[in-house]
Structure 1
């Protein structure tokens, strides 16, 4: 690919916790993945040399493990970018098919449509030359109830398709889940009377939760569970992070309380932890910490 669509909001959700140096390295890795349209080899030495990040190899390895996923051969794939590539090639295929069917109408066709806006075809008869046949009394074209219903159903289907693509794009990646799994779960949810817009909104909240809580991918809900009978897509998905280490306490203070750890005046991590717990007790945050298998 020569270019790719950069969504500032999605990037902020995925990369907002990184330092400028980490974000720059991650951007180089993703750009390389998109430009070559190939996984980053598990033997990363040559790729790191090409990207001029060899001196940051340890950090680059950590970023690959955090933001990429290994394929069956152990090479590294960035799933969100893979979806963008699929959309890019799908659009190209559609354009090629349109081109084979004639593409844009010719000027002659356009002129005919202007001179005969009713859409009726005028066929010549044996009238003498110089006589022009003009349609008169053409009936008004009206839709029957069935045609109106079919048109409304098509609009609903097209709208749901757009929402599905958005849901598929933003939903967190769980290993082993395929596009077919997404499709079946989505169609079943619609059949159960669930609203596409609400499911997309729920996926956005859950995506933020997964990123902020640094949830291991194996604990991410499958689409069938997320959209299933328990209606997990309607949950608020506020984050209650573990507080076991100093790093986790700092991260929880930043994410849950909105504070800047570098500007805090706590005398110890114990005081910072107590502040976070007190913040939760006030009812600002009641979602239980992660760490159980979500199925």
Structure 2
């Protein structure tokens, strides 16, 4: 089911073929970054930093920022490259571009960072690539790919489709933020240390292996029963049995009949409940189905 869904998502992406990215002019690198900082409401100091950071264009035509640039205040990466289509509408109208690609080398986190709080040691740096494309006719934002990998062998690959995204004007872009819904998501994670070194510390889940498994299982048991069919639940249970240090490949496929509202997700995290309902998980996840495949790899070692 997951592989079929992933194939369908690839077909959807190919139905809207990407135009060839043009080489980014250095002036656009600077102007677009400062315009983007202003569009998302950053303060004048951040806009000034974006405008005065060291911008170069790589040999293959991407804009590049450097983590050691003093204007970026100690950014946690070695380099960040990006390129975009339809960049003029961001600089002139304040609308998001038609497409955006980002690649990051040596993305570093420290034990005190939010993603690694509680970690006993500094996780290995990772490289990341992101590709987004907006299709105005169908009001879809397609996450063509998000890939994060480390030298330790861990890797996350994710694709998704977000519905009800309207970038026809700057005003509509703001309005549609309240109606964005997740239609489909497919993820594949190769795990060789990430769970115990990144995920569990970020959730402040710790203790002996049995306690960790019990805490995670108790949280999952609060979810509506319709999310997982028998096969998915069996695979999920097998993954939970491998905690706190699973080694193998976890595949997840999420599909929603009516779209999972991001506003509901935000309310659930911020207030502990969905808006206008006494049963947040059931309301938020109504019509949502999740497929799970867990393939352990006993030969994988950290």
Whether TM exceeds 0.5 here: the answer is no
Structure with the largest fraction of strand: 2
**Structure with the bigger percentage of helix:** 1
- TM-score normalised by structure 2 residue count: 0.28
> What TM-score do the two structures reach when normalised by structure 1?
0.28
